[in-house]
Each structure stands twice: as C-alpha cells, then as structure tokens.
C-alpha cells in the first residue's frame, strides 16, 4: 500500500493543465531536493488558462500569519515539509495569493519557485484538483489522465477507497466526464454519500459550468432528473448552465424541469427562480428560462407562496415564463390570480398574450365565470377559449347548451368554432342543433356537417330528409361532409339519396365512402366488390384501413363505376368474366369481389388447383386474396389444411388474412395458437393480437414470443404491456422458468419483472437487489423500485418522470394507476394518444400552447386555424381496448375511434359505480 510518506516523497509533476515543477538545481546554497526537476518555466499569472484571473482575497489576521509560516516552510530542508506546505497553501487559494505573489520575490530560490508554482495552481483554479490528487495518492498528471477518460473503474475504485469530503471540484470533473455513461449513476451515489446533498449539488453546478460539448449538456440534464440535488437552486442552475451550452434548448430545458415536479417544495423552488450564479453569468437566454423552469417544476402552490417567490413582474415575464406561470395557476386552482393576470395583460393591449391567458383562464376559472366573460373578449381570445375547451372539455351539461347557442350567432367563425367543439358532445340535441345550422347557414354547413357525421344516427328522419335534399346541389365544400352525414345516418332517405347520387356519378373523392356504403349489401356485384376492398383493407388494422383504401388504383374506381352503372345481372356477369380472364389485370380484384359476396360458385376449387400449380396460371399469387375471402367448402378446407402445416406453410399468409377478415373455418384462437407456436416466423400484427382476449397460456406464449423471438421490441410496447397484464399471465414463468430464486440478468428483465409480475412477487425479487458497479442496470432498478412502491412517494414520482423522459415504458403503468383512481384526464389522454384525429394532442397543456402559437404563426384565417395547429397525425398504434372495458360503463367497440371522438366531451367518472361513464344529454 502507498504510504503517506509516499506522497511526501513524490515530486509534483506538470499536469495537462500546464502546472509546473519548481526550478532545478542551482549550485549556490539553494536547498533544492535532488528529486525535483524542471519541466518548463513559470507562466505569468495573468495568462490563466481557466478564464479571468483570480483576484487575491484578504485573509483574516490569523490566516495571514499561518500563510506566512507556510511560505517560510516552502524553503524547509526536507522535501516532505516543502510539499506539505505547498498543499496547505493551495488549500487557502485566493486568500494566499497576495502573499504568494510576494513570495516570488523571496531571496530563497526554493521559496520563490514554489510560490510561482503555487500562483499558477491558484490561477488555474485547479487547486482543488491539485489537493484531490494528493488525497488519492496520485500525481496531478495521473489524475488528469484518469479524468480525461482513462480507466473509469480505476478512478471510481480510488474515489471509493480514498476520497474525503470537500472534493467537489474533482467530483464536478468526474460527473462531467461520465455523463452519458451508465457509470455516472453509481458515481453520483458515491458522491452523495461522501459530499452530502449540498456538496453533490455544488459539484453538479460546477460540472455544468465547465461543459464545452453540446451533447454533454443533454446528458448532464439527464443526471439532474434521475438524481436531483438536495437544493432546487442547484438543480435549476445545473439545467440552466447545460442550456447555455446547447442550442435551441428551451423546450428540452422546461421538459426536464417538469420532470422534477413534485420533488421539491413550492416555496423553495419559487425562491430559486432568481438564481445567483456568482461571478460567472448565464447566457441571457438561459437566464431568462430559470423562472420558467422553477414554475414548471412546482406541482402546485398557494397564493402566498407565489407572492413570496422571486418571480419577475407579470408585465416583464417572457412568453416562456408566462406560459408556465399560467399553467401553474391552473394546476393550483388559483383562479383569482388568473383573473388578475387577465386584467393586467388586457391593459397591455397585446392580443396574442391575451389569447394565451384566455386559453388558460378557460381551464382555471369556474366554467360559469368563463362563460360570463366570453362575449366581452376580443375574437382571438374567444377562439383561444374554444380551443382550450376543445383540448380539455369542461362540464358537458353546461358547455354543450352554450355551444349550441353559439351556432345561431351571426359570426361565422363563432359558429364554426362551436360546431367543431360540439363534435365531442354526442346527443340528440347536439345533432339537431348542428343539422339546423347546416340547413340555415350555408357558410357554416361544412363545419356543422363534419361534426354531425359522428352522431348522424341520432337525427330525426325529417332532418335527414332535409339534408338528403341538399345532396344533388351541394357544392364541393359541403358535399364531402354531407355525404358522411348521410352515410352515418343509415336512414332510408339518406340511403336512397346516396345510392342515386353515386349511381349517377361517383367522384374519386367519395370512393371510400361509397365502398363503405355499398359494402353493406354484398349480394349485389357492386356491394361484393366494395365489401372485398373494405375487408382486405381491414387486415392492416383499424387505423390503417383508411390509408389502405386510399391506395386503390384508378382501375378499381372504374370497375366500381361500371358495376354501379350496370344492372346487377350484368354486373355479376362482368365480374365473372373478368375473374376468368387470365389476361385481365383486374382478375384478382374481380375474384376477390366474387368471393366476398359468395358469388364465386365453384371457382374456389379451380383457384386452389391453380395456386397449387396443378393448372398453369400466369399469376397464381393473385388468387390468394380471393381464396382467403371465399367461404366455399373447398376454400375453407384448403385453409384448414394450411393451418395444420403451421406457419411454415407457404399458404399460411392466406390463412392469416382469412382470420383477420373474419371468414369461416378457423377461429382466431386456433390461428394464434399456430402462430405463437413458431414466433420466429413472424408475429402477427398488434391489432390482430389485441382483437380479442387470450387465455393465460396463449398470453404466456405471446410473451415468450415477444421476449425471445423476432418481436422483441414489442415486449416493452406500452399497449402490449397493458394487454399482457389484462390477460392474467404469469410472466415470471416466462422470464425465469422454474428457478426458485429468480434473478434478473439485465436491465430489461428488471423492468419487465416490475411491469408485468404480480407486485408482491416482484418486490421479493427486486427489493434487495443492488445495481451493478458499472451502472448498466441502475436506471432500470430505480424505475422498478419506483413502480413497486419501494421508494418514498415524492422520490418515486420524480424517478418515474425521469424514466418517462428517458423513454422507458412506464407511461402505461402510470395511466392505469390513474384510471384506477378515476382520473378522467388519464382516460382521455390514453384514448387520445391512440386515435388518429387526436393523435397530435400530446400533452394537453403543450397542445394548448401549441395551438395558440400556431394560430399566430398562420395568417389570420379564422376557419381551420385550430386545425392548422395540429399538424399531420402520425400512424396510431393499436390499443387493446378490451383491457379497458372493465373500467367503463359501456364497452368500447373494436373500431373505437369515431365512437370515442363524439363522446370525448361527455366522459366523467361515476364514483358510486366506480366506473367511467358518458353523460347523457337530451
């Protein structure tokens, strides 16, 4: 073991930072250790490599005496004394600087040279590293090498065995060097244990101040949210300094601050809103964001806490700060403060700001108050309020009548806005009001009809007839929505109007609707064709049907038009001829149509022979879809034989299509059993899996397949996790086999154990587990502890926020817990996030602000401004809605998007029944 004398004996060597050795031997009476050597002459102190020069600080009298003694000892006869005195002087830092500078003029060259070295150390601001190196029994150069990305484990080992409290500069370098690596987390724990909460916080801030590379800023922010320091000021300072390094970090910064919500108290956070960063200043952009971060991190506060906080005055808040301020007022239920803010900002005359605050006011004030002031506000502010209610619906019993009243206003933009919102309030009175609006105000007809389409089946026959009468003369703005209403109404007058209109002319834009309409009656040739297209498109999943249908060829359109124009017998003849014509490119389409309508007669057997190669066919693969659709005995038997061969069968795809289209002969359970038996050959789509319940054994097989097969990434898909829990499987049997003492082997297994297993058993497996020294499972273990309730509540919340930010699949778990507690917002957010129309409504407050911003970015067109704010919807994932049905008063249909869209504003929680229900409006 290296002894203390060892570093008494060590020569101070130059380090990467340009530290010096003291002067070499001089012949004349200068006591210099034979062990010293020259590296390079001293640099002038003004050339500090670390920024502006350190200024001397006046020491206390007793310190001054002590410093003088130590300077004298720099010339001691023994090297150990000289070195020790150097260390003690370095510890004094700027307080010794004045006397050290004087010491450079000392007659004793040893003292003079050591003072020069000391001045260099103090000016380089690396005195603490210098001392840390001594503590770790390293030379400064060795320490620098380790910090510069040398042997991480060696460095951590040294810190673990030798570090003492008071080495925050060293920890800052270590944390900055390790951020982005898993080792940073056990290192943080070590730092916290040695330096305490405040010391760790100081090290974090210093690490952030020293960052140079932009990507490190984001990585250090991650450290802050996973391991928040004791003091909120340190958390905010670290984030702000990270932002100074990164460009365009505003939203990222606030997002990270939001992840700390609930961890710190409101009062201390708000007090930290005005950071004192000492002699180093944040960039103006970063400094401006500090109050925004503080506000974002507050869960909720009282009016007194808000008043006592170090916030800028309202009229000097930037937009970012104002947004967070208003959101906090809403979260905290401080409606009076919201009103005050409205009054103050109205006086500024800035319509954009007024819109912003009105959007929040619409949420934070009582609905009655909001409705009372509605008409007194300018147009843009009223639109903002409507936008707000579109995102976050309020009490349906109060809002729906108000909105119906807006439909009769003379301002078209008000009518359109109201109509857009009313789409969420499915009720006979809503349908009636929308129908009247469409019939009496032509310029609002498109908006009214779009909303009405979701609830057209509630219309009175008289209204339907009146709307149907509009069809022949409807212009291209009105017609698409009108067609949708008539289609959804499913009433004789509507059906007759549509049938007549499309048989006369079928516009390309209405092909999809026509297919849905005619598919209702498969006995006709046109109906059979339509049904075949809709069924085939449905195999791609509920959300994908629309896109699949949109990809139909022009030839398909022409065929549809031809079938509509012809009498049924001739249409059937056309289909049969086309299906039998080996040279016709529409042969597969026609064959499918015949099969879908049950009109193929005995062609199925012929198709089988062609597919099997017994009869030559130019394109046997083109008959696959027809054989999957056909319910003829030969086709059914063919599919059953393919099923018996399993997924290796070349025709198994045909089997899958038939099952997904609901054709005869094979149940979904039989098919899934075969698929899951050989998962390496390809898992079915999530939609097909979610379409029904799985018995636990099959669910177990599914989990095995996803864990160990080609669908590995699906295992942690939030919807899949939700589904597997719902199926009641035993994931531990899959994860660990029959081991008596299960031991997760990696981070993924830790997470799966916590997310899927029975809580009590998961706790037994994980409660005493420690993270690996390399930190590779640290985050997963921490997340698991939070999920299983093994952490105190505020800490668990913060960990789950951090996990969410890091993309871990904990969202569903949190949502399900909130659902269990009857949180209406949770169910709304869940369904929104999986449906296409509301796909872009991400987190409510973000969407709210996004809409207001977008409104001002686009030109001031009132109509569609809100839609313009939404952007392009992404392809939604599938959701196992059956897993939610036990929580609802009425089950969600499998094709639930439209069903949900028109009931979104009606959702509430019935505490007595313990279920979510939908308000029944007149």
Partner 1 sequence: MDKQGKKGGRSRPQAVVVERPCWQPAEGGAELGRALREDLRELLGSLPVLLEGAQVKDGAALASLLARAQAPLLAVFEDVAGLPLLCAEGALDSLRELPVVVGPCADGSLYALGVAQGLEPALVAELCDAACGAGALGAVTDLLADAELECTVLPPWFRVAGEGDLLFAENLARLSLLSEGGEEDFIADRLRVWLERHRAGAAEGRP
Cα diameter, the chain: 124
- Give, in order, the Cα–Cα distances in Å from 423 to each of 363, 456, 787, 836, 905: 19, 11, 37, 15, 9
Least Å distance between CB 751 and partner 1? Answer: 18
Among 791, 827, 849, 851, binds partner 1 (CB under 8 A): 791
- What letter would DSSP give residue 605? H
Nearest to 808 by CA among 276, 103, 285, 222: 222
Within its chain, how far is the Cα of 684 from the centroid? 26
Among 10, 20, 36, 73, binds partner 1 (CB under 8 A): 73
Q: Examine residue 34 and tell whether it contacts partner 1 (CB under 8 A).
A: no
Separation between Cα atoms, residue 403 and residue 416, nearest integer Å: 10
Closer residue to partner 1, CB minimum distance, 193 or 500: 193
Nearest to 813 by CA among 749, 873, 753: 753
Q: Examine residue 783 and tell whether it contacts partner 1 (CB under 8 A).
A: no
Least Å distance between CB 801 and partner 1? Answer: 14
Least Å distance between CB 162 and partner 1? Answer: 6
Nearest to 896 by CA among 604, 542, 577: 542
Instruction: Determine how many CB atoms are found less than 10 A away from the CB of residue 366.
Output: 12
Torsion of CA 349, 350, 355, 356, to 10 degrees: -120
Least Å distance between CB 205 and partner 1? Answer: 18
Angle at 57 between CA 56 and CA 58, to 5 degrees: 120
SS (H, E, C) 681-749: HCCCCHHHHHCCCCCHHHHHHHHHHHHHCCCHHHHHCHHHHHHHHHCCCCHHHHHHCCCCCCCCCCHHH
- What letter would DSSP give residue 313? P
Among 81, 277, 319, 521, binds partner 1 (CB under 8 A): 81
Site string for partner 1, 144-183 (x = CB under 8 A): ----------------xxx-xx------------------
Least Å distance between CB 789 and partner 1? Answer: 11
Least Å distance between CB 173 and partner 1? Answer: 20
Q: What share of the chain is helix, strand, coil (3-state, %, to 5)?
A: 65, 0, 35
The residue range among 191-199, 342-350, 684-692, 832-840 that interacts with partner 1, by the rule CB under 8 A, is 191-199
Q: Examine residue 796 and tell whether it contacts partner 1 (CB under 8 A).
A: yes
Q: Examine residue 287 and tell whether it contacts partner 1 (CB under 8 A).
A: no
The residue range among 423-431, 662-670, 748-756, 786-794 that interacts with partner 1, by the rule CB under 8 A, is 786-794
Least Å distance between CB 220 and partner 1? Answer: 18
Closer residue to partner 1, CB minimum distance, 137 or 538: 137
Phi, psi of 916 (to 5 degrees): -80, 140
Among 13, 68, 94, 230, binds partner 1 (CB under 8 A): 230
Residue 201 makes CB contacts below 8 A (sequence gap 6+) with 229, 230, 231, 233, 234, 235, 238
Secondary structure (3-state) at 888: strand
Token couple for 573: 């003849």
Determine the length of the chain: 922
The residue range among 70-78, 265-273, 298-306, 847-855 that interacts with partner 1, by the rule CB under 8 A, is 70-78
Least Å distance between CB 394 and partner 1? Answer: 38
Closer residue to partner 1, CB minimum distance, 764 or 793: 793
Least Å distance between CB 773 and partner 1? Answer: 12
Least Å distance between CB 267 and partner 1? Answer: 17
Secondary structure (3-state) at 36: coil
- Give, in order, the Cα–Cα distances in Å from 843 to each of 106, 391, 434, 906: 68, 10, 29, 19
Q: Examine residue 792 and tell whether it contacts partner 1 (CB under 8 A).
A: yes
Closer residue to partner 1, CB minimum distance, 230 or 562: 230
Torsion of CA 150, 154, 156, 158, to 10 degrees: -120
Closer residue to partner 1, CB minimum distance, 197 or 492: 197
Among 30, 42, 94, 190, binds partner 1 (CB under 8 A): 190
Q: Examine residue 302 and tell whether it contacts partner 1 (CB under 8 A).
A: no
The residue range among 5-13, 325-333, 412-420, 848-856 that interacts with partner 1, by the rule CB under 8 A, is 5-13
Closer residue to partner 1, CB minimum distance, 33 or 48: 33
Nearest to 878 by CA among 628, 538, 453: 538
Separation between Cα atoms, residue 756 and residue 764, nearest integer Å: 14
Binding to partner 1 in span 508-547, by CB under 8 A: none
Token couple for 661: 């289209």
Binding to partner 1 in span 96-155, by CB under 8 A: 135, 137
Closer residue to partner 1, CB minimum distance, 371 or 790: 790
Token couple for 842: 């991400």
Q: Examine residue 189 and tell whether it contacts partner 1 (CB under 8 A).
A: yes
Least Å distance between CB 201 and partner 1? Answer: 13
Instruction: Determine how many CB atoms are found less than 10 A away from the CB of residue 499.
Output: 16
Least Å distance between CB 163 and partner 1? Answer: 9
Supply the Cα-derived Rg of the chain in whole angstroms.
36
Q: Examine residue 550 and tell whether it contacts partner 1 (CB under 8 A).
A: no
Least Å distance between CB 786 and partner 1? Answer: 9
Separation between Cα atoms, residue 710 and residue 701, nearest integer Å: 13
Q: Is the dihedral of CA 271, 272, 273, 274 positive or negative?
A: positive
Q: Examine residue 271 and tell whether it contacts partner 1 (CB under 8 A).
A: no
- Give, in order, the Cα–Cα distances in Å from 543 to each of 116, 532, 721: 74, 18, 20
Closer residue to partner 1, CB minimum distance, 73 or 444: 73
Q: Examine residue 80 and tell whether it contacts partner 1 (CB under 8 A).
A: yes
Least Å distance between CB 810 and partner 1? Answer: 16
- Note whether 103 and 93 are within 8 A (CB): no
Closer residue to partner 1, CB minimum distance, 162 or 772: 162
Among 13, 94, 310, 795, binds partner 1 (CB under 8 A): 795
Token couple for 291: 């109050």
Q: Examine residue 77 and tell whether it contacts partner 1 (CB under 8 A).
A: yes
Least Å distance between CB 181 and partner 1? Answer: 19
Among 704, 785, 808, 845, binds partner 1 (CB under 8 A): 785
Closer residue to partner 1, CB minimum distance, 161 or 551: 161
Token couple for 28: 């004349």
**Count of residues that interact with partner 1, criterion CB under 8 A:** 34
Site string for partner 1, 739-778 (x = CB under 8 A): ----------------------------------------
Residues of this chain that bind partner 1 (CB under 8 A): 1, 3-5, 7-8, 73, 76-78, 80-81, 84, 135, 137, 160-162, 164-165, 189-190, 192-194, 197, 227, 230, 785, 790-792, 795-796
């Amino acid at each position: 073991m290296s002894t203390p004398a060892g570093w008494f004996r060590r020569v101070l060597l130059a380090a990467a930072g340009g530290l010096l050795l003291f002067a070499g031997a001089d012949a004349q009476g200068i006591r210099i250790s034979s062990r010293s050597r020259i590296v390079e002459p001293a640099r002038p102190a003004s050339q500090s490599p670390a920024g502006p020069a350190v200024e001397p600080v006046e020491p206390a009298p007793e310190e001054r005496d002590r410093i003088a003694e130590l300077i004298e000892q720099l010339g001691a006869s023994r090297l150990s004394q000289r070195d020790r005195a150097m260390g003690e002087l370095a510890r004094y830092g700027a307080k010794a600087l004045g006397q050290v500078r004087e010491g450079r003029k000392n007659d004793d060259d040893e003292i003079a040279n050591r003072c020069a070295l000391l001045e260099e150390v103090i000016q380089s601001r690396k005195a603490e590293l210098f001392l840390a190196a001594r503590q770790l029994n390293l030379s400064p150069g060795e320490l620098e090498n380790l910090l510069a990305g040398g042997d991480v484990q060696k460095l951590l080992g040294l810190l673990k065995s030798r570090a003492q409290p008071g080495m925050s500069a060293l920890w800052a370098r270590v944390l900055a060097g390790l951020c982005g690596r898993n080792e940073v987390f056990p290192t943080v724990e070590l730092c916290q244990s040695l330096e305490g909460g405040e010391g760790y916080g100081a090290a974090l801030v210093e690490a952030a101040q020293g960052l140079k590379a932009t990507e490190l800023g984001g990585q250090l922010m991650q450290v802050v949210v996973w391991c928040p320091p004791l003091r909120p000021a340190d958390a905010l300072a670290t984030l702000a300094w990270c932002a100074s390094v990164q460009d365009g970090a505003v939203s990222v910064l606030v997002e990270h601050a939001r992840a700390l919500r609930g961890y710190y108290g409101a009062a201390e956070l708000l007090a930290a809103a005005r950071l004192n960063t000492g002699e180093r200043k944040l960039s103006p952009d970063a400094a401006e964001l500090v109050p925004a971060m503080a506000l974002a991190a507050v869960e909720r506060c009282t009016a007194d806490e808000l008043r006592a906080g170090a916030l800028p005055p309202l009229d000097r808040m930037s937009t970012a700060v104002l947004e967070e301020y208003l959101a906090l007022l809403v979260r905290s239920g401080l409606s009076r403060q919201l009103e005050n803010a409205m009054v103050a900002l109205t006086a500024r005359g800035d319509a954009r700001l007024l819109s912003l605050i009105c959007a929040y006011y619409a949420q934070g004030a009582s609905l009655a108050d909001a409705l009372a002031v509605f008409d007194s506000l300018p147009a843009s502010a009223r639109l903002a309020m409507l936008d707000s209610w579109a995102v976050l619906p309020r009490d349906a019993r109060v809002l729906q009548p108000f909105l119906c009243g807006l439909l009769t206003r003379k301002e078209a933009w008000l009518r359109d806005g109201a109509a857009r919102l009313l789409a969420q309030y499915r009720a006979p009175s809503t349908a009636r009001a929308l129908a009247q609006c469409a019939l009496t105000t032509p310029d609002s007809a498109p908006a009214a009809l779009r909303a009405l389409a979701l609830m057209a089946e509630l219309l009175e026959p008289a209204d339907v007839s009146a709307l149907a009468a509009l069809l022949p003369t409807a212009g291209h703005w009105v017609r698409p929505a009108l067609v949708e209403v008539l289609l959804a109404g499913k009433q004789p007058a509507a059906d007759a109007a549509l049938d007549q209109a499309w048989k006369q002319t079928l516009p390309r834009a209405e092909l999809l609707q026509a297919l849905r309409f005619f598919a209702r009656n498969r006995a006709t040739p046109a109906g059979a064709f339509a049904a075949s297209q809709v069924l085939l498109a449905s195999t791609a999943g509920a959300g994908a049907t629309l896109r699949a249908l949109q990809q139909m060829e022009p030839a398909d359109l022409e065929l549809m038009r031809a079938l509509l124009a012809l009498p049924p017998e001739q249409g059937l003849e056309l289909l049969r001829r086309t299906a039998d014509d080996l040279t016709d490119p529409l042969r597969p389409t026609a064959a499918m149509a015949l099969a879908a309508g049950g009109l193929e007669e005995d062609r199925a057997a012929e198709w089988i022979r062609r597919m099997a190669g017994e009869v030559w066919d130019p394109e046997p693969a083109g008959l696959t879809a027809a054989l999957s659709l056909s319910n003829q005995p030969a086709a059914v038997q063919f599919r059953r034989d393919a099923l018996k061969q399993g997924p290796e069968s070349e025709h198994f795809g045909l089997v899958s299509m038939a099952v997904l289209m609901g054709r005869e002969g094979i149940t979904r359970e039989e098919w899934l059993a075969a698929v899951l038996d050989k998962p390496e050959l390809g898992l079915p789509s999530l939609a097909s899996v979610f379409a029904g319940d799985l018995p636990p054994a099959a669910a177990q097989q599914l989990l095995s397949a996803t864990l160990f097969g080609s669908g590995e990434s699906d295992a942690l898909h939030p919807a899949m996790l939700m589904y597997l829990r719902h199926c009641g499987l035993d994931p531990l049997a899959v994860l660990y086999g029959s081991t008596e003492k299960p031991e997760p082997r990696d981070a993924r297994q830790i997470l799966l154990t916590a997310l899927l297993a029975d809580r009590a058993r998961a706790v037994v497996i994980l409660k005493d587990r420690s993270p690996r020294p390399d930190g590779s499972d640290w985050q997963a273990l921490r997340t698991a502890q939070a999920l299983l309730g093994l952490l105190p509540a505020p800490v668990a919340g913060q960990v789950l926020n951090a996990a969410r930010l890091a993309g871990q699949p904990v969202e569903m778990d949190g949502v399900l817990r909130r659902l269990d507690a009857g949180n209406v917002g949770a169910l709304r957010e869940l369904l929104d996030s999986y449906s296409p129309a509301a796909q872009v409504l991400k987190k409510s407050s973000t969407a709210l602000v996004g809409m207001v911003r977008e409104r001002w970015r686009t030109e001031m067109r009132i109509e569609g401004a809100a839609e313009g704010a939404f952007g392009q919807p992404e392809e939604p994932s599938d959701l196992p809605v059956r897993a939610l049905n036990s929580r609802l008063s009425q089950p969600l249909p499998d094709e639930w998007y439209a069903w949900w869209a028109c009931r979104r504003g009606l959702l509430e929680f019935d505490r007595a029944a313990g279920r979510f229900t939908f308000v029944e409006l007149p």
